[in-house]
Amino acid sequence: MPWKTRNHMSLRQEFVELATQEGANRRELCRRFGISPKTGYALLARYAAEGSAALEDRSRRPLNSPTQTDATLETAVLALRREHPAWGGRKISRRLSDVGYSKVPAPSTVTAILHRHGLISPQASDASTPWLRFEHPQPNMLWQIDFKGHFDTLATRCHALTLLDDHSRFNLTLAACSRQDTLTVQQHLIPVFRRYGLPMCINSDNGSPWGCPSQPANAITALTIWLIRLGIRISHSRPYHPQTNGKDERFHRSLQAEVLAGRTFTDLAQVQTAFDRWRDIYNQERPHEGIGLETPVRRYRFSERSYPECLPEIVYSPDDHVVTVGWDGKVVFKGRRLRVSNALLKLPIAFRAVPQNDGLYRAYFCHQRIMEVDFRKPPTAL
């Protein structure tokens, strides 16, 4: 039976002094101190042999621990954590297995090792709540693109361009850019398209250069025109809902924690070097909890849609009503003047009747629907 209440050392000292008095009833003392006679007599025997040292707390650690993690594995756990400070128990356990270790400790054991060595802060524990997200069933069905919030180097400001495959979480590009405009994005997307092919759809937020915050439903920009002409469908996140592009936002969190936090860079070249190194780790080494602790490269495959070096001709159906966008970004259709987009200047768009909805038309640029017009309602002022 264990010792109760306050200071074990002082209680034992008190018990020993009372129990060693002449004529002391030791069994009664054991009852009053809340310990078994076996415990009391064992303490008195130790005290007789060791003196005051017998009163100190003794380790309850067993002489043999057959389930204890091997020292070599524990060293490997700590080395991985120090190399990747943002990795938790699941990632480290999976990575050790991937690189060939046998009898790899369970994620919970790895977490316990990290706690024991003071490598997990309470804040990190609180932030480890998993997210549940929709996932497309195949690679290249949807890519998510965005610029991470800018940060300053000693030479200039850096805008990190990120592009992620929704299904595999494979990072297709991670670029340190000085600007966040259409030309910059195109310069980085062309090598991606040449290497990996074209996706079915790209999702972005509504800011420049992807869209227009004032027209989030059908925003058309020079960049989206180029992507649409390549045969890529464009979608935009709901305004003020960044979770619509959630996988790329989560990628930004990892980028911040594992690359940027606490670091100062000289220039964009140094940032890009750090980005390139970490991108290889992220795609090829880092187990991803959102995909069952696989690495993204194992889930990704190239798109079968090749990048065309020349933009294909814009072709519409013979049943479509095709009009050309004027200088002011407007068109006239069935006597009604409609605002489309200045970015579509001199380009043809098509109005297509909606079946079983007389008077309702949808306007398309190539395959992308850009607006809907209901002639059953009075026109709105431009």
- Residue-wise pLDDT tens digits, 104-158: 888 878 877 877 777 776 555 544 544 445 678 899 999 999 999 899 999 999 9
CA–CA gap between residue 256 and residue 380 (Å, rounded): 46
Among 328, 323, 318, 306, residue whose Cα is nearest residue 363 = 323
Mean pLDDT, rounded, of the chain? 85
Contact predicate 345/325, CB 8 Å: yes
Tokens at 376, concatenated: 């059953």
Tokens at 40, concatenated: 């009391």
In the chain, domain spans: 8-55, 71-126, 143-299, 321-374
pLDDT of 103 > 90? The answer is: no
Maximum alpha-carbon separation in the chain: 118
Contact predicate 167/135, CB 8 Å: yes
CA–CA gap between residue 80 and residue 114 (Å, rounded): 11
CA–CA gap between residue 297 and residue 248 (Å, rounded): 16
CA–CA gap between residue 12 and residue 30 (Å, rounded): 11
Quickly state the pLDDT bin for 216 (edges 50, 70, 90): very low
Higher-scoring residue by pLDDT: 267, 108: 267
Q: CA angle, 12 as apex, 6 and 14 as ends, to 5°?
A: 95
Neighbouring residues of 288: CB distance < 8 A, sequence distance ≥ 6: 91, 169, 294, 295, 296
β-strand pairing of 321-324 with 348-353: antiparallel
**Count of CB atoms within 10 A of residue 166's CB?**
25
Find the mean pLDDT for residues 295-313.
92
Among 272, 240, 246, 243, residue whose Cα is nearest residue 259 = 272
Q: Which residue has the tokens 């909606």?
A: 354
Among 176, 157, 144, residue whose Cα is nearest residue 249 = 144
- Cis amide linkage into residue 209, ω under 30° from 0: yes
Pick the range with the lowest mean pLDDT from 50-59, 172-181, 239-248, 344-353.
239-248
Among 124, 105, 87, 103, residue whose Cα is nearest residue 281 = 87
Contact predicate 178/157, CB 8 Å: yes
143-299: CATH number = 3.30.420.10
Tokens at 254, concatenated: 């990892």
